[in-house]
Structure 1
Amino acid sequence: MTDLVYLYLLAPLHTGGTTQEGNLLGIARESHTNLPYIPSSTIRGRLRASVGTSIENRIKRVQLFGPDLKDTQDSDFIEYYEMETDKRLTQLEQGNVWVGDGSILWVPVPSLSHGVVWVSSPLLLKRWARFNSAVANQIPAPYSTSLQTNALVYLKDAILKQGDLKAWSDWQNFVPQNSDAVAIDKVLVLPDQHCATLIQMCLWRQVKVKLDEHKSVEGGFRYEEAIPPDALMYFPWGITSQANGSSQKARNDFAQLLAGHEILQIGGQESLGRGFVQQWLAQ
Structure 2
Amino acid sequence: MYKKAYGIIETLAPLHVGATAGEESGNLNLIFRDQFTQTGIIPGSSIRGRLRSEMRLIAGEDATYWYGNEAGSEQSDNNNNESIVKFEYASVLWLPVFCPGQPIVWVSSPRLLQRYKRIAGDVVQVQVDGQTKFLKDIDIPAHYTGSRNLKAKPLPGGTKTLFFNLGFVTVNKTVDLSPWFPTKQEQPAIIVDDNDIGMIHDMALYRQSRVRLKLDQKVVDGAGFFNTEALPEGTILVFPLAIRDDKSGKKWQPFNGSQSADIYLGGLESIGLGHCELTLNGL
TM-score in same-fold range (> 0.5): yes
Structure 1 residue 273 displacement after superposition: 1.4
**Cα-to-partner distance string for 1:12-49 (whole Å, 9 max, x where unaligned):** 11112386113322111223332210011111000001
Structure 1 residue 258 displacement after superposition: 7.1
Structure 1 residue 148 displacement after superposition: 5.4
Q: 2:209 aligns with which of 207, 211, 219?
A: 207
Task: Work out whether residues 51 and 254 of structure 2, in 8 Å CA contact, stay in contact via their aligned partners in 1.
Answer: no
Inter-partner Cα distance in structure 1 for 2:58 and 2:187: 43
Mark the CA change 1:206 to 1:184 in structure 2 (over 3 Å): closer, same or farther: farther
Aligned pair count? 254
Structure 1 residue 177 displacement after superposition: 1.1
Task: Work out whether residues 258 and 280 of structure 1, in 8 Å CA contact, stay in contact via their aligned partners in 2.
Answer: no
Mark the CA change 1:165 to 1:113 in structure 2 (over 3 Å): closer, same or farther: farther
Inter-partner Cα distance in structure 1 for 2:213 and 2:254: 45
Q: Does 1:253 align with 2:255?
A: no
Structure 1 residue 184 displacement after superposition: 5.6
What secondary structure does 2:179 align onto? helix
Q: Does 1:217 align with 2:223?
A: no
Structure 1 residue 235 displacement after superposition: 1.3
Inter-partner Cα distance in structure 2 for 1:53 and 1:111: 41
Structure 1 residue 56 displacement after superposition: 6.5
Q: 1:238 aligns with which of 223, 235, 242?
A: 242
Inter-partner Cα distance in structure 1 for 2:178 and 2:260: 26
Q: Does 1:172 align with 2:210?
A: no
Partner of 2:276: 277
Task: Work out whether residues 114 and 153 of structure 1, in 8 Å CA contact, stay in contact via their aligned partners in 2.
Answer: no
Q: 2:109 aligns with which of 85, 110, 121?
A: 121
What secondary structure does 1:264 align onto? strand
Partner of 1:140: 141
Partner of 1:195: 197
The amino acid across from 2:164 in the alignment is L
Inter-partner Cα distance in structure 2 for 1:111 and 1:124: 21
Q: 2:231 aligns with which of 227, 233, 237?
A: 227
Runs of 5+ in structure 1 lacking a partner?
74-89
Task: Work out whether residues 20 and 29 of structure 2, in 8 Å CA contact, stay in contact via their aligned partners in 1.
Answer: no
Inter-partner Cα distance in structure 1 for 2:242 and 2:36: 24
Inter-partner Cα distance in structure 2 for 1:43 and 1:157: 33
Structure 1 residue 255 displacement after superposition: 5.7
Structure 1 residue 72 displacement after superposition: 3.7
Task: Work out whether residues 58 and 255 of structure 2, in 8 Å CA contact, stay in contact via their aligned partners in 1.
Answer: no
Mark the CA change 1:55 to 1:199 in structure 2 (over 3 Å): closer, same or farther: closer
Runs of 5+ in structure 2 lacking a partner?
123-133, 155-159
More helix by share: 1
Q: Does 1:38 align with 2:42?
A: yes
Task: Work out whether residues 104 and 188 of structure 2, in 8 Å CA contact, stay in contact via their aligned partners in 1.
Answer: yes
| Percentage of pairs with the same residue | 29
Structure 1 residue 111 displacement after superposition: 0.5
Inter-partner Cα distance in structure 2 for 1:232 and 1:190: 16
Inter-partner Cα distance in structure 1 for 2:278 and 2:163: 31
Task: Work out whether residues 5 and 282 of structure 1, in 8 Å CA contact, stay in contact via their aligned partners in 2.
Answer: yes
Structure 1 residue 115 displacement after superposition: 0.4
Comparing 112-121 with 62-71, greater Cα deviation is found at 62-71
Mark the CA change 1:34 to 1:254 in structure 2 (over 3 Å): closer, same or farther: same
Partner of 2:130: none
Q: 2:53 aligns with which of 33, 49, 64?
A: 49
Partner of 1:81: none
Inter-partner Cα distance in structure 1 for 2:151 and 2:173: 9
Task: Work out whether residues 260 and 279 of structure 2, in 8 Å CA contact, stay in contact via their aligned partners in 1.
Answer: no
Q: 1:66 aligns with which of 40, 47, 68?
A: 68
Task: Work out whether residues 64 and 254 of structure 1, in 8 Å CA contact, stay in contact via their aligned partners in 2.
Answer: no
Partner of 2:168: 159
More strand by share: 2
Q: Does 1:96 align with 2:84?
A: yes
